Structure 1
Amino acid sequence: MTNFLGLRSWEDEGMAPDRGHRPATQSDVAREVGVSRTLVSFAFRGAPGVSEETKQAIFDAAKRLGYRPNAGAADLARKHRSAVGLYLMDIRNEVYADILSGVRIALPQNRNRMILSVSRSVDGVDPGALESLIEARVGIIIAATLLDSDEHVREMAQIVPLVSVTRPVEGVDSVYSDDAFGARAATEHLLNLGHTRIAHLAGPAHDGHIVRRQSYEQTMRDAGLTPQTLSAQDFTQEASERAAAELLDAADAPTAIFTHNDQFAMGVREAAHARGLSIPGDLSLVGYDNSRTARLHGIDLTSVDLHAVELGRIAGEVALARLNDPDAPMADRRLTPQLVVRSSTAPPQ
């Protein structure tokens, strides 16, 4: 059996002896090797004072006996919580899978447990997902992306230390990409191609999650043009397809659409195809995230790369630093996104 971190248990290898229903303990391992239980505990905690030869003998015996350390109990014994909770707003969006990959790069193997919780709400608001991590007694939460107000995020961080990913929150460790810069680059790219009827397909408005919309609107006004923003009802591709249909059926239909993310861009593609519109011949399209889908042949979506894997990796490092030093200054790590131009954009006909 493989758990959600992709690890196989020693029992799966057929190495655990028959002790009835009683699981192996550190005392069993100690008797097997001929050392004290304290030395076994030191070996599994990575504490100094255990030779490499003895440590290997302990690990080999534990594998034979089917012993697995109880990380939660170890935390209680040390009066220190080492588990890292990871909250993802939308597992349907590839960008969060990339953030997860980055976090896993940062966490040392066999050192910190990672407990995953995903929002079950299509609008990205699910307080229960965060509460489940708090109840699991994690030492810190990496949250990507929280839609709560800054004040509420700070309140949560008083309960459990928190790293906010993809949006900055003053007074909380934050790792994010400069969305204002990215949205401006996307909009200016379409303006430079000669488009004047540029629409923005935004997600539902939430505190801390409207910077891309604001930057697009300001860039349009700076160019002397009227912004045309429409919000999808939720963060699903189906919702973006319905909103795109409304834009494309309007009398002043846009010649270009900049979407909140790549998943929304796929909804626009579907709506355009249903109306016999070609991309980029009839409609230029820019997404955000530079997901794997954007890079597929036949899709070739112009998109803003927010460096999701790097965001996750840095967030993991910040989380470990906070666990090691709870009183350290708050981290504020901002990455600069990059517009990746592909064949989904062209001058208007």
Structure 2
Amino acid sequence: MGSPFLSLPGAVLAEGVDAGVAGHYGNPIVEQRRLEQGRAIVDLSARGIVTVTGPDRLSWLHSMASQALARLAPGESAEALLLDANGHIEHAAHVVDDGATTWLVVEGDEAASLAAFLDRMRFMLRVEVADASADWAVVAAMGVEPLDAAVPAASPNGVALDWVDPWRGASGHQYSRDAQHPSSEWTWTERIVPRAALAEAAAAVTAGRVEAAGALAAEALRIAAWRPRFATEVDEKAIPHELDWLRSAVDLGKGCYKGQETVAKVLNLGRPPRRLVLLHLDGSDTVLPAPGEPVVGEKVRPEPEAGAEPERKVVGRITSSAMHHELGPIALAVIKRAVPADLQLIVESHGIDVAAAQVEIVPADAGAAVDVPRLPRLGVRH
């Protein structure tokens, strides 16, 4: 059954990672402004929700996740990653606990696999895991005011199920050196509601109590905030450092968990092998690159032959792109660490070369010139 938001006037179904909800309602640029101004809500009902109950739930999740969750207070928001033994990102979850249940908001196609993984890891602990996506859904906005105008916060155990994104004002380690980090404008809030309540939220839009913005508007603002997303920025090789995800999803002071040795090693001894950048794209050809399209750099020869074309080398790939209402065409890309920060890049898209100027999010010398805390290697005792 489709979301009630798809019945709103002008609704156009999203494609790709946000399939199942409205991509826009006729004007994504106007919707961005409304969303940014706290006047609109976004239907995220294609996201998945996994619940964990039982008295051991927080200490159990704490033992596996990159984030410190053991003392997560009711109503407090957190973000956590589950890594493999080599530190690669396997799952990312938006976490809120209501005192009886821990709620994990994930990408829609991740809910079943995450629930299955967690269920296998229960052993003899007092926890129960369930994929609750069929009964619960997510709507989002910048701040709580537009959400309150649309649908009341659910509180099955007396605590409102609002996840406030810790990306803004994150207290974790930050690679970015930008003094005015764009996350300062990112007040993203995700509200978990009974799936049946989506009709009430859509009715609030029809009644004029709040406006609706599509997934394209939300993505444009996310990209401008340099905010990584599991469905777009993560591939099979991704580690948290490459995406500046230590800011909000990794507690560097917590104990051992799977992948922690890689987290410590890259911080203490090395540099992230790749790095996330924001690209300002040339919009003269009105081409918006698609995720996965190559980012190339031109290698300048010391003494080029007359008439010779510069040698091109693929240095990364586009992960997300959008038309922003102020910045114009922008994208996030993961590129090789050694690519110079001032190198003009080219995105090969739809048979057209799109010039791209990079803004460093994770600097090329991250981990060497940046002051980072020393973390103990696993197995080392002091």
TM-score by length of 2: 0.23
User: Which structure would you say has the larger Rg?
Assistant: 1
Greater fraction strand: 2
Greater fraction helix: 1
TM-score by length of 1: 0.24
